[in-house]
């Protein structure tokens, strides 16, 4: 439980942090995923570059049509932000469900999505919310839609020597509603299954647009198009929800571990999709 030796430095700016990356160096944000993995020697970085004091990437800003959440904002700051609460309460409510108060006070949204734990809450939430990940590297900045940011088991679209600086979340419009529900591992609160839904009704009262994303079930969070296709153009009734929920987790390889077998997890995915959709009825 003792990490291997490393050098530690505090970044003075995003550019300073980027210039220090390379080789086996790693960014340190809240440390709530990185430090435990270093103690287990799953990660043995040569250098830790601490970005936790960079005010420039901790801000939560109202941009009019969207909200820009700095990568260094903690889960707790996001849960308590009035800007986020009024822009999309699914995002603040989702943040409030992460871990316990210590985890929420240290862990950051940027650290969580960079780490890409298959049981993390943020991936499902930002995918359903149509979020965009803002990335900065030596060559400039780029934006990646959340739906294509997560690429594999603990894998993302982030290249070496790049840093996430923020996540842009569009505000929900007046015809939209959204929710995030999860079946939490009782000790850590990680999602054994988590489901986020953002829905928009058309003028007929039928579903004109819907995003259903699921975390905890497969190697990385994904949009469940099987469920979405079953819902499009229909009113959100109990029968429609029942048949849409039955499609959950049918198009992915479902994980099995000591928390939940493949069969149980798949069952939970259907239960939690139904729960989320029923909340939005």
* One residue of 69, 78, 90, 98 binding ligand FAD per CB under 6 A: 98
**Contacts (CB under 6 A) with ligand FAD, residues 235-264:** none
Instruction: Return the residue of 91, 103, 248, 260 that touches ligand FAD, per CB under 6 A.
Output: 103
Phi, psi of 170 (to 5 degrees): -65, 145
Least Å distance between CB 220 and ligand FAD? 13
**Choice from 18, 73, 95, 99 touching ligand FAD (CB under 6 A):** 99
Residue 173, phi then psi, degrees to nearest 5? -85, 175
List CB contacts of 55: < 8 A, sequence separation 6 or more: none
Judged by CB under 6 A, the number of residues near ligand FAD is: 29
- In the complex, minimum distance from the CB of residue 145 to ligand FAD, in angstroms, rounded to a whole number: 17
Binding mask 182-201 for ligand FAD (x = CB under 6 A): ------xxx-----------
Which own/partner pairs from 233-237 qualify as long-range (CB within 8 Å, at least 24 positions apart)?
233/206, 233/207, 233/208, 234/206, 234/207, 235/205, 235/206, 235/207, 236/199, 236/201, 236/207, 236/277, 236/280, 236/281, 237/281
Distance (Å, whole) CA 67 – CA 202? 24
The distance of closest approach from Cβ of residue 186 to ligand FAD in the complex, given in angstroms and rounded to an integer, is 11
Strand partners, 8: 48
Build a one-symbol-per-residue string for 107-126: x at contacts with ligand FAD by CB under 6 A, - elsewhere.
xx-xxx-xx-x--xxx----
- Binding part of the chain for ligand FAD, among 5-13, 78-86, 105-113, 237-245 by CB under 6 A, reads 105-113
Instruction: Write the interaction track for ligand FAD spanning residues 19-48; mark x where CB under 6 A is met and - where it is not.
Output: -------xxxxxxxxx--------------
In whole angstroms, give the CA distance from residue 89 to residue 97. Answer: 12
Dihedral sign for Cα 20, 36, 143, 91, please. negative
Interaction site with ligand FAD (CB under 6 A): 26-34, 71, 98-99, 103, 107-108, 110-112, 114-115, 117, 120-122, 163-164, 188-190
């Amino acid at each position: 439980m003792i990490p291997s030796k490393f050098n530690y430095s505090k970044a003075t700016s995003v550019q300073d942090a980027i210039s220090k990356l390379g080789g086996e160096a790693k960014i340190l944000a809240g440390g709530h995923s990185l430090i435990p993995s270093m103690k287990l020697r799953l990660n043995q970085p040569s250098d830790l570059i601490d970005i936790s004091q960079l005010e420039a990437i901790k801000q939560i800003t109202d941009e009019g049509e969207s909200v820009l959440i700095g990568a260094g904002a903690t889960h707790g700051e996001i849960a308590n932000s009035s800007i986020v609460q009024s822009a999309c309460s699914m995002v603040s409510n989702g943040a409030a469900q992460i871990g316990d108060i210590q985890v929420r006070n240290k862990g950051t949204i940027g650290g969580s999505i960079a780490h890409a734990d298959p049981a993390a809450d943020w991936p499902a939430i930002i995918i359903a919310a149509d979020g965009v990940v803002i990335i900065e590297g030596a060559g400039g900045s780029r934006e990646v839609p959340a739906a294509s940011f997560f690429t594999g088991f603990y894998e993302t679209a982030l290249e070496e020597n790049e840093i996430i600086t923020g996540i842009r979340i569009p505000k929900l419009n007046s015809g939209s509603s959204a929710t995030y529900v999860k079946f939490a591992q009782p000790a850590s609160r990680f999602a054994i299954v988590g489901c986020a839904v953002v829905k928009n009704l058309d003028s007929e009262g039928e579903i004109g647009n819907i995003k259903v994303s699921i975390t905890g079930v497969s190697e990385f969070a994904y949009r469940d198009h099987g469920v979405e296709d079953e819902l499009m153009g229909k009113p959100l009734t109990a029968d429609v929800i029942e048949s849409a929920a039955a499609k959950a987790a049918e198009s992915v390889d479902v994980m099995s571990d000591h928390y939940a077998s493949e069969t149980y997890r798949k069952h939970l995915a259907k239960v939690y999709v139904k729960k989320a959709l029923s909340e939005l009825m």
